[in-house]
C-alpha cells in the first residue's frame, strides 16, 4: 500500500510541475510591447492631458547605418539650405536621429495650447512639467499676484493660425529651437465680483508670441521644455 501511495504521489508531483511550468511560460512571456523602466507611458491621441508633457508623435528610429547621416530633406520645408536655421536643425538631427521638424512642430503647438490654458487656470502642476525652472517661477509669480488681487482669468483657446521656426542651435548636448506663434483666443480678467477688468469675453484676439524650447538630446527624456518667452 505504501508503494501504491508513493507512485501516485510522484505522478501528481510531475503533473503539478508541468502545470507550473506552462503557467510560467505564459505569464512570463514578453510580447515585445512592454515598456522598459526608461520608456515613458504616453497616452494615445484623444486621451485626457494629464501627463503634462510635450509629447511628440511616434517616429520610427533610423538604422545604425544612417544614424550619423540624417535625412536633411525633411528640413527643407522649414529652412533653406545654407541658412543658420538649417545648419542648426541639421546639427540637432545629427545628434538626435529621431528628430523630425514636422513632429516637433506638432508637439510645440500642443504645448503652446496647454501652457496658455494652464496659466489662465492657475494650473501650477501642468506648468511645472512644461517649463524650465526660471520660466516657471515667472509664470507662477504672475499667477500668485493675480490670486492676491482676487482676480480670475478666463480663456477660450480658438486655435493656432501659424507657427514658424525662427532659430535653432545645438550647444553641447542641449538643443534649442525658437518659434513664432500666431494664435487666436478669447480672454479676459475679472475681479472678485465678476466685473471685466481687461480683455473682452466675446471678442477673438490674435496673439503673437516668440517661444524657445530646449531639450538635452543625450537624455532618455524625449520631452522639450519652454525656456524663453517674448511677445511680438
Coil, strand or helix at 175: strand
Residue 220: the pLDDT is 87
* Higher pLDDT among residues 135 and 13, named by residue: 135
Whole-number Å distance between alpha carbons of 214 and 104: 11
Structural domain containing residue 194: 79-231
Whole-number Å distance between alpha carbons of 77 and 145: 42
Total count of domains within the chain: 1
| Run of H or E residues at 20 | helix 2-27
Provide the H-helix boundaries in 52-176.
84-95, 101-121, 124-130, 133-148
Residue 5: the pLDDT is 44
Residue 7 lies in a domain: no
Residue 137 lies in a domain: yes
Residue 2 lies in a domain: no
Residue 11 lies in a domain: no
- Looking up residue 202, the CATH number of its domain turns out to be 3.10.450.240
Residue 15: the pLDDT is 44
Residue 200 lies in a domain: yes
Cell representation of residue 84: 543658420
Residue 70: the pLDDT is 65
129-136: average pLDDT:
96
pLDDT in tens, 199-232: 999 999 999 999 999 999 998 888 999 999 998 8
Say yes or no to pLDDT of 157 above 90.
yes
Residue 25 lies in a domain: no
Give residue 69's pLDDT band: very low, low, confident or very high (50, 70, 90).
low
**Beta-carbon contacts of residue 215 (< 8 Å; ≥ 6 apart):** 174, 175, 221, 222, 223, 224, 225
Q: What is the largest CA-CA distance in the chain?
A: 96
Cell representation of residue 62: 533610423
Give residue 90's pLDDT band: very low, low, confident or very high (50, 70, 90).
very high
Judge contact between 160 and 109, C-beta under 8 A: yes
Residue 92: the pLDDT is 96
Residue 12 lies in a domain: no
Residue 93 lies in a domain: yes
Give residue 57's pLDDT band: very low, low, confident or very high (50, 70, 90).
very low
Amino acid at each position: 500500500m505504501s508503494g501504491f501511495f508513493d507512485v501516485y504521489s510522484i505522478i501528481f508531483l510531475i503533473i503539478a510541475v508541468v502545470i507550473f511550468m506552462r503557467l510560467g511560460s505564459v505569464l512570463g512571456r514578453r510580447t515585445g510591447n512592454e515598456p522598459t523602466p526608461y520608456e515613458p507611458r504616453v497616452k494615445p491621441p484623444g486621451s485626457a492631458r494629464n501627463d503634462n508633457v510635450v509629447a511628440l508623435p511616434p517616429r520610427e528610429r533610423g538604422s545604425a547605418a544612417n544614424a550619423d547621416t540624417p535625412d536633411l530633406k525633411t528640413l527643407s520645408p522649414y529652412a533653406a539650405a545654407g541658412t543658420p536655421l538649417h545648419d542648426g536643425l541639421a546639427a540637432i538631427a545629427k545628434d538626435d536621429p529621431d528628430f523630425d521638424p514636422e513632429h516637433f512642430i506638432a508637439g510645440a503647438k500642443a504645448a503652446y495650447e496647454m501652457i496658455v490654458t494652464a496659466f489662465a487656470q492657475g494650473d501650477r502642476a501642468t506648468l511645472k512639467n512644461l517649463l524650465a525652472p526660471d520660466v516657471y517661477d515667472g509664470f507662477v509669480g504672475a499667477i500668485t499676484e493675480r490670486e492676491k488681487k482676487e482676480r480670475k482669468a478666463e480663456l477660450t483657446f480658438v486655435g493656432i493660425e501659424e507657427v514658424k521656426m525662427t532659430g535653432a542651435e545645438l550647444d553641447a548636448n542641449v538643443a534649442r529651437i525658437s518659434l513664432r506663434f500666431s494664435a487666436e483666443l478669447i480672454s479676459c480678467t475679472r475681479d472678485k465680483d465678476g466685473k471685466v477688468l481687461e480683455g473682452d469675453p466675446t471678442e477673438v484676439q490674435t496673439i503673437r508670441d516668440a517661444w524657445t524650447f530646449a531639450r538635452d538630446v543625450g537624455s532618455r527624456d524625449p520631452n522639450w521644455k519652454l525656456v524663453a518667452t517674448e511677445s511680438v
